Amino acid sequence: MDWDALGRKLRGTLLRPGSPGFEDARKLFNPLNDDHVPAAVAQCESPSDVSEAVRAGAGRVPLAARSGGHSYTGYSAPHGGLVVDLRRMSAVTVETDGTTTVGAGASLRDVYTTLGQANRCLPAGSCFTVGIAGVTLGGGIGVLQRRFGLTIDHLAAAEIVTADGRTLKVSAVRTPDLFWGLRGGGGGNFGIVTQFTFVTDPAPALTLFVVVFPSGKVTEVLSAWQPWISAAPRELWANLNISGGDPPGCRVAGCFVGPSNACHPLLDDLIARCGVLPSRRTVHDRDFFNAMRFFAGRPDRESFVASSRVLNAPAADPAAVTSLLTGRTGTALILDPLGAAVADVGAQQTAFPHRSAFATAQVYASATAASEAEVTKSVAEVVAGLAAQGIGGGYVNYIDPALPDWAESYYGQNLGRLRSVAHDYDPDKVFDFTQGLSRV
């Protein structure tokens, strides 16, 4: 691999081990992946830079795109490979009709800031440092999905560099199979997307709320939350976060599209169904940007182990779910409801297969380098416990190499078509990685 030649061809910067800035550029969000040391990081400034990087690395070293760097298992920093860093390609432009073009290196903070200034709205993820590319390519679940759908439901077109270095304009008319695959087929497959075009909505007024319940009441709250959110209007999204402990605790937090005076009766109904008085209840009216910032969390790097499952229907045994978190301090089970606008689109209209599911379940646990093995085992036990209750499937943006039957879990009935699209656009497996479509 002639790194010097590649460096000369780039408008951006090629960083190698020992170069100033390399250590910062190579690190991802999760410090547990700091042992992933690529051979080089190409800080690309244009699609032509991405094309040069792909042509130079194809068939010679592992290749991976990096946007936000939140890949749970560090796939965006292949050890000994070439990172195609898109973060300099982060421009966000909003047209007068609300159509928005977004560079693939943009973070959600970039996207929400520009949209908020234009009084527009796009449903996407929550953490501000997550990249728009990863969010979109996996489907794009978020706090507005029950009202506005997934991020991919607003995708109108994309620009992508394919395995042979070509730059393609992708849309439902130009390249229908590839456009279908990009909407839920997961990051790292097909090629490297350099730009997205979204259709946005006028930004609504939003109500944010958090209802915290006393420890030891998880079973009662879960038993009430499931039918409550199933029957809720599509303007309401509310997740259930169960925190491990002895006993476990929980809180319901969410977002209502509308004013707080219309949200309060819905929360009253939840509390009545639970038969448990909350220890804290907060409700705030917010504009779109400040609502998204509320859910953003901390920007600091964080060490964690995570996995996922998908509830095709409400959990039949809430007490059994509670028992999975008993004694597991530092572990959370986060149930994010689907339904409503998410289910308005058929399971095979996009590559995201979980359209008719009730909720996604993320298992998330804090860890250190010293505790990683133990925490990984604990997370796997929770995931297996959910599977034993008939809760299967998984969300590709919560990617986990230990997930049994991962390809079927992520893609379901869409796996065969996705495999075919991947073969058509990357027959030589240039973008191969452990959980890539080239492996199935």
Separation in Å, CA 119 to CA 94, 101, 303, 378: 10, 15, 35, 44
Backbone angles phi, psi at 82, to 5 degrees: -110, 120
Instruction: Please give the Cα distance from 169 to 164 (Å, whole number).
Output: 15
Q: CB–CB of 139/151 below 8 Å?
A: yes
Confidence check: pLDDT of 326 > 90? yes
Q: Can you spell out the DSSP letters for 163-176?
A: TTS-EEEE-TTT-H
Distance of CA 135 to the CA centre of its chain: 4
- Mean pLDDT, the chain, rounded, equals 97
Crossing angle of the two packed helices 318-325 and 218-231, in degrees rounded to 10: 130
Instruction: Please give the Cα distance from 119 to 115 (Å, whole number).
Output: 6
Confidence check: pLDDT of 297 > 90? no
CATH fold for domain 92-202: 3.30.465
Instruction: Please give the Cα distance from 414 to 354 (Å, whole number).
Output: 10
pLDDT of residue 100: 98
Q: Where residue 398 falls among pLDDT bands split at 50, 70, 90?
A: very high
Q: CB–CB of 175/168 below 8 Å?
A: yes
Instruction: Please give the Cα distance from 344 to 287 (Å, whole number).
Output: 26
Confidence check: pLDDT of 185 > 90? yes
Instruction: Please give the Cα distance from 292 to 144 (Å, whole number).
Output: 10
Instruction: Please give the Cα distance from 197 to 101 (Å, whole number).
Output: 4
Helix %, strand %, coil % for the chain, to 5?
A: 35, 25, 40
Backbone angles phi, psi at 208, to 5 degrees: -110, 145
Instruction: Please give the Cα distance from 277 to 268 (Å, whole number).
Output: 10
pLDDT of residue 298: 83
Separation in Å, CA 265 to CA 146, 283, 296, 349: 19, 12, 26, 36
pLDDT of residue 307: 97
Express each pLDDT in 128-143 by its tens digit.
999 999 999 999 999 9
Q: What is the mean pLDDT of residues 121-125?
A: 97
**Residue whose pair of structure tokens reads 């790292």 in the numeric block:** 188
CATH fold for domain 206-412: Vanillyl-alcohol Oxidase; Chain A, domain 3 (3.40.462)
Express each pLDDT in 221-260 by its tens digit.
999 999 999 999 999 999 999 999 999 999 999 999 999 9
Q: Within a 10 A sphere around the Cβ of 50, how many other Cβ atoms?
A: 29
pLDDT of residue 347: 97
pLDDT of residue 404: 85
How large a percentage of the chain has pLDDT more than 90?
98
Express each pLDDT in 16-29 by its tens digit.
999 999 999 999 99
Confidence check: pLDDT of 299 > 90? no
Separation in Å, CA 112 to CA 3, 103, 214, 294, 398: 36, 13, 34, 12, 22
Instruction: Please give the Cα distance from 346 to 330 (Å, whole number).
Output: 37
Instruction: Please give the Cα distance from 165 to 50 (Å, whole number).
Output: 8
What secondary structure letter does DSSP report for 144? T
pLDDT of residue 65: 98
According to the CATH classification, is domain 12-85 in 3.30.43.10?
Answer: yes
- Bond prior to 227 in cis (omega within 30° of 0): no
Torsion of CA 46, 99, 256, 126, to 10 degrees: 0
Domain boundaries, the chain: 12-85, 92-202, 206-412
Dig out the tokens for 407 from the structure: 């390809």
